[in-house]
A and B are shown apart, each in its own frame.
Chain A
Amino acid sequence: MPSTRLWEAERALPALGLINAGLWLFCLTVVLVPLGTVALYGLASGRLEELAEPEVAAAAWNSLSSAVLSGALAVLIALGLVLVIEHTRLPGRATLRILALSPLLIPPFIGAISWIGLFGPSGMINSAAEGLIGRPLWSIYGGDGVILLLALHAYPIAYLLLTAALARIPAELEEAARASGAGSRRALAHITLPLLRPALISSFVLVTVSNLADFGIPALVGAPERYETLATIAYRFVRSGTVDNSVELAACVGVVLLLMVAAGMLLIRRFSRASYALEPSVSRAAPLALKRPWLLGGTTWAAVLGITALPLSALLIQALLPAPGMELSWENLSLGNFSSVLESPWAAEGTQLSLSLALGAALITGVVGLAIGTVMTRTSLPGRSLLRKVSLLPLAVPGLIVAVGWLLLAPHLGLYNSPWLILWAYVMSFLALVVQAIEAPLRSTSPALEEAARVSGASALRAFSDVSVRLALPAAAAGALLVLLTAVRELTISALLLAPNAQTLGVAIFNLQQAGSYGSAAALSVLVTVAGLLGMGLITRRLHTR
């Protein structure tokens, strides 16, 4: 109830007004200005017609088709897994769920490197197939590989959305169908699936939009077959000197992407409004009875292990083999790749740069996100809901556009080729992670908590800091840690903004892979992944033990 908010009567409180003004200034400069710059340069440069060239048109088509197909595939995979794992009494469901969600924790370009280890020209499965049937089984390079990898990377998001939607369907709805004479399959088809439809559509659109501008997967898997998307073509424009004023052209590409993203967001809004009003459930959802649990269980285990553990073990083996395609035997395994990576000066530099950038971004987004999150949920300051929208906007903006925006701003700021540019781009991209992390726990606590502090004698500002800010602190810390982990492995922004001689971890892995040093790329990927998993474990432990 906003009318009972604590700050209603104290809008004039100067300290809070100052904070509000500061937050607005921050969001304007860090979020809106770069976005506006992309739009302005893209539209005002008058070079939009240059995009009509066949290669750009083909790239746009590739972006759109790969995003749509991978979105549909991801939702299908997620739906199948959700029904089996969350809607039955399959043995080992908890472990299956964790495994099925694990791609969330692995950056897409590392996933791509793992799959190349399986289905690349000299990948393990293709080598084995060559020995057995005399030809490679399937090459991952090309459009089909891009679509498959995008889907395999994105399905966990759809899984989470569908699980939440399934949990909201009261068990009685299926039970009523059963009592009306429907078998469990018909109850699923007539009741549960139609009720999941809004969630299916909105997760499809969300996955499609986020896959539109992915850079790592098409760059690593599509490029060898000359399969270009808008993201890779924009990267090529920026990196190559052949096009004059290449960044402007990249901005034009960015505008096209932005329009696609905006259309997708409008679709999501439309479909999230169309969802059904469901009563809160009285009883827990009734799982489907399985006639042959071991059959379905075995298939599911095999499928989930195949799309999660298999590529990761391929990555590990690739890291342990001195050269790709060598026979897998105990004598051949060595830690040579790891030691050469750890001893190399560029790896140390990359780690140092990535860590300091990520720490900086975590610190800034943590503090600013905490302020935005608390102001927007616990006060009635004017414009707070708009502030929230602005701060969450970059969630939908692809890293490519963020990077192009800062590239365009760089000459005006005098920050060309400087790590500071990357830092601000990271802050723009990841601020929303912290705001989101804070929002959920704060919204679920009652405003009566602050009112109780006021009644106990605390001043308005004191109640705000003692109650609201304190309540939000753990969530802000967890959000900042998430930013740290995400930023350390970031690829798209760093790849576009880095000075030619500098490296971040993501760019180092990317360059190694492109240069054909598969063993070193895999070794560094393994190290980054393991460190990331440990960090994630730390966050969840922290959140659970509270």
Chain B
Amino acid sequence: MSSVRFDAVDVVFEDGHRALDAVILHIADGEIIALVGPSGSGKTTLLRSLAGFTAPSRGRISIDEQVVSSSEHSTAVEHRGLGMVFQQHALWPHMKVGENIGYPLRLAGIRGGDRRRRVEEALEMVGLAGMAGRRPDQLSGGQRQRVALARAIIHEPRVLLLDEALSALDEPLRASLRAQLQSMSRRLGLTVLHVTHDRSEALAVADRIVVLDQGRIQQIGCPDELMERPATGFVAQFLQDAALLHGELRAEGFRCAEMKLQVPRESISQPQDDGSAADSGGSRAGVLAVAPHHVILSPAEGDDAQGAEAEVVSSLYGRHAHDVEVSWAGRRLRGETVGWRPAPGERVRAEVNGGVFFSGGDLDEQTQGDHDQAPEDPQGDGESVQVPLGHTGGSQ
């Protein structure tokens, strides 16, 4: 129930690694913020520096306009008024469930019937009424994590910190706890900082999402903003599995010379759309981020092999659309098909009907390279390996 500010926060570790780089972030009272990014992007460091387990080397962190971390001063963790849930529940095995949950109250000097009543309430809120007498090792994984959640909220923390809190759980359980978490935070008006590597979880739960890469904030926005107007190629790549194509944007559209690709101008959006440069008729070099739903695949009809220059590398079943990866003019692209599912090795017709354009060649080649290596085409490889194995097995 508090606001949080990060003012130009740097965290540099002893080995010289810069884990956070000039992070500026304002979290409003009662807001649910998700932190996403690849591993090593600094999201856990950001959370731990708000908690006070990590000290910033520069900049200030404040809760409710009161500085808790700066280079001169650091409020001790226990005086920041936080609640925290860890990936591995971190329940104390030598305490019963009720003692675990009541511990923050015990430290706050609340005792007797008052404490018991509030523990019961918290247990009820997470759906574990009457379990106060159990030992943590008598609970299932999901129950333990709910106890950890009850422990984190019982003393009405100013900020609730979730460090991959749902990541250790199995899928159906995770979804239900995710929903419970969101409705509970809303009801209690909690300010929540939720670190996760699961992109869909971040999009599902959060009011705003912070995308981090290499210690820098790439974009902050609500789910719609991030999906429709990614600020950088990295964000598009990370959140939507977009492919990044180098080319030129002209008045009539985007052209990628090596792929003989043409995308009409009106279906291309630009995050930094000032409307001047492109409409003045000049051409700009840049990168087009193409998300799978912009890659339209269609069967090559008859012997019309002319337009079918993409070869299917892998084809994974999906409930709403099948996830098909194609190799097209030496590039790997992910697309979606509905109604038909091509087989690996099949040649299909491919076109791109939209994308987000980022001008300038400033997109580092590294992220581009990362994506080129990324496709693992499990199905394609699996097929080609399984055949010879099956043969030798049969002949023995």
B93 — which chain A residues lie within 8 A by C-beta? 195, 276-278
Closest to B82 in A: A179
Contact A173 B104 (CB under 8 A): no
Closest CB pairs A-B (n = 9) = A172-B90, A179-B84, A180-B104, A276-B93, A178-B77, A181-B107, A172-B86, A176-B90, A194-B94
A211 to chain B, nearest CB (A): 29
Contact A176 B94 (CB under 8 A): no
B387 at the interface (CB under 8 A from A): no
Tell which of B53, B94, B104, B108 touches A175, judged by Cβ atoms closer than 8 Å: B53
A282 at the interface (CB under 8 A from B): yes
Q: How far is the CA of A279 from the CA of B137 in the complex (A)?
A: 10
Q: What are 29 A-B contacts with C-beta separation under 8 Å? A: A170-B88, A172-B86, A175-B53, A176-B84, A176-B86, A176-B90, A176-B92, A177-B92, A177-B103, A178-B53, A179-B82, A179-B84, A179-B152, A179-B161, A180-B83, A180-B151, A181-B81, A182-B78, A182-B103, A182-B107, A186-B78, A191-B92, A194-B94, A195-B93, A276-B93, A276-B94, A278-B93, A282-B86, A282-B87
Contact A195 B84 (CB under 8 A): no
B104 — which chain A residues lie within 8 A by C-beta? 180-181
Contact B94 A179 (CB under 8 A): no
Q: How far is the CA of A348 from the CA of B115 in the complex (A)?
A: 75
- Count chain A residues whose beta carbon lies closer than 8 angstroms to a beta carbon of B: 25
A118 to chain B, nearest CB (A): 41
B349 at the interface (CB under 8 A from A): no
B139 to chain A, nearest CB (A): 12
Contact B90 A175 (CB under 8 A): yes
Contact A172 B88 (CB under 8 A): yes
Q: How far is the CA of A176 from the CA of B94 in the complex (A)?
A: 14
Identify which of residues 276-307 in chain A touch chain B, using a CB-to-CB cut-off of 8 Å.
Answer: 276-279, 282, 286
Tell which of A178, A191, A276 touches B78, judged by Cβ atoms closer than 8 Å: A178
B184 — which chain A residues lie within 8 A by C-beta? none
Contact A183 B90 (CB under 8 A): no
Closest to A175 in B: B53
Q: How far is the CA of A176 from the CA of B86 in the complex (A)?
A: 8
B373 to chain A, nearest CB (A): 27
**Chain B 93-106 near chain A by CB (<8 Å), digits 1 or 0:** 11000000001100
16 further A-B contacts with Cβ under 8 Å, apart from A180-B151, A181-B78, A181-B79, are A172-B87, A173-B92, A175-B77, A176-B84, A176-B148, A179-B82, A179-B152, A180-B78, A180-B104, A180-B107, A181-B81, A184-B76, A276-B93, A277-B137, A282-B87, A286-B53
Identify which of residues 186-204 in chain A touch chain B, using a CB-to-CB cut-off of 8 Å.
Answer: 186, 190-191, 194-195, 197
A482 to chain B, nearest CB (A): 35
B155 at the interface (CB under 8 A from A): yes
B51 at the interface (CB under 8 A from A): yes
Give the interface of A toward B (CB within 8 A): 170, 172-173, 175-184, 186, 190-191, 194-195, 197, 276-279, 282, 286
B89 — which chain A residues lie within 8 A by C-beta? 279
Interface centre among A180, A181, A276, A279 (most CB of B within 10 A): A180
Tell which of A173, A181, A279 touches B108, judged by Cβ atoms closer than 8 Å: A181
Q: How far is the CA of A279 from the CA of B51 in the complex (A)?
A: 23
A180 — which chain B residues lie within 8 A by C-beta? 78, 83, 103-104, 107, 151, 155
Closest to B90 in A: A172
A87 to chain B, nearest CB (A): 15
Q: How far is the CA of A279 from the CA of B92 in the complex (A)?
A: 11
A182 — which chain B residues lie within 8 A by C-beta? 78, 103, 107
A190 — which chain B residues lie within 8 A by C-beta? 103
Tell which of A184, A191, A279 touches B88, judged by Cβ atoms closer than 8 Å: A279
Contact B86 A183 (CB under 8 A): no
B108 — which chain A residues lie within 8 A by C-beta? 181
Contact B53 A183 (CB under 8 A): no
Closest to B76 in A: A183
Tell which of B77, B87, B88 touches A179, judged by Cβ atoms closer than 8 Å: B77
B152 — which chain A residues lie within 8 A by C-beta? 179
Q: How far is the CA of A459 from the CA of B47 in the complex (A)?
A: 56
A276 — which chain B residues lie within 8 A by C-beta? 93-94
Identify which of residues 46-73 in chain B touch chain A, using a CB-to-CB cut-off of 8 Å.
Answer: 51-53
A454 to chain B, nearest CB (A): 16
B94 — which chain A residues lie within 8 A by C-beta? 194-195, 197, 276
